[in-house]
């Protein structure tokens, strides 16, 4: 199943890059803006350490994850903390998704719908983490209310697309750095907002470092990159079931 998400996960899933922003002329259409933004801040591979602070019902839990990805087809997520979740993880191989936890003793395959479930009950979908940037299932348009210092895009899913949202709206800076995403339900109500509050500037790229996701329910998820390296060589053996279970 192709990813139907464009959400804030550009920040988490820097999975497939096509070059640097400097290679692009000034974008003119909505599709050009979206593609130029994707090109600017994604690499062929990435390796990251991430802190995930999840607040639900007034209680907060901090998770620490290690992520590796190569393209949109291969990704590995390893949970480092808290202790009762340490050693668990997810493996994406093309259209196949696997989950492992030490208590299970073996990896188990998951259905594709699991990609759209909240990770640890957070506002962050597993699809966001593992794939994150698919725009294939959306029609993209420029909002009639364009800011003077950037762009605002409206993304409406195609009929039958695997998404619970009625539309997404993205705010980008003039340098194409992502600032904010609004998630709307089928009735046009905002059900989730993702805001970038801190950026990491690399040659030819501006990457989100801190992303805060607020849900209409009042629950909140903060995603912070503690370490991020892109375009690094990755051992193909990383993306195997054996690595997932720690063999």
Give the bridge partners for 167, in sequence order: 184
Q: For residue 19, is pLDDT > 80?
A: no
Report CA Rg, the chain.
17
pLDDT tens column, 121-148: 566 654 554 444 456 678 899 998 888 8
Q: Which of 63, 59, 53, 104 is nearest to 86 (CA)?
A: 63
What is the model's pLDDT at position 144? 87
Q: Return the higher-pLDDT residue of 234 and 39.
A: 234
Backbone angles phi and psi of 221, in degrees to 5: -130, 130
Query: What count of other Cβ atoms lies within 10 Å of the Cβ of residue 221?
Result: 25
Task: Give the H/E segment covering residue 152.
Answer: strand 150-157
What is the model's pLDDT at position 43? 66
Confirm if 195 and 180 have CB atoms less than 8 A apart.
yes
Positive or negative torsion for Cα 21, 27, 31, 33 = positive
Domain 8-244 has CATH 3.30.1300.30: no
What is the model's pLDDT at position 33? 87
Task: Return the residue matching tokens 């594709």.
Answer: 112
Which band of pLDDT confidence, cut at 50, 70 and 90, is reported for residue 86? very high
Peptide bond into 82 cis (omega under 30): yes
What is the model's pLDDT at position 16? 28
């Amino acid at each position: 199943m192709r990813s139907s998400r464009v959400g804030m996960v550009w920040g988490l899933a820097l999975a497939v890059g096509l070059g640097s922003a400097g290679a692009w002329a000034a974008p003119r259409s909505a599709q050009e803006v979206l593609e130029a933004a994707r090109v600017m801040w994604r690499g062929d591979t990435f390796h990251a350490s991430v802190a995930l602070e999840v607040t639900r019902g007034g209680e907060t839990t901090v998770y620490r994850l290690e992520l590796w990805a190569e393209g949109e087809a291969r990704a590995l997520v390893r949970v480092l903390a808290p202790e009762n979740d340490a050693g668990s993880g997810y493996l994406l191989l093309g259209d196949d998704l696997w989950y492992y936890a030490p208590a299970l003793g073996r990896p188990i395959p998951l259905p594709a719908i699991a990609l759209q479930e909240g990770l640890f009950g957070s506002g962050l979908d597993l699809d966001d983490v593992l794939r994150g940037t698919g725009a294939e299932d959306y029609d993209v348009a420029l909002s009639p209310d364009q800011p003077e210092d950037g762009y605002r895009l409206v993304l409406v899913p195609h009929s039958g697309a695997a998404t619970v949202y009625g539309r997404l709206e993205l705010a980008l800076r003039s340098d194409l750095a992502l600032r904010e995403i609004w998630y709307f339900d089928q009735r046009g109500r905002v059900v989730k907002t993702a805001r970038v509050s801190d950026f990491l500037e690399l040659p030819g790229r501006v990457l989100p470092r801190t992303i805060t996701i607020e849900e209409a329910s009042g629950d909140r998820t903060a995603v912070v990159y503690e370490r991020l390296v892109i375009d690094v060589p990755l051992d193909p053996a990383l993306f195997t079931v054996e690595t997932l279970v720690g063999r």
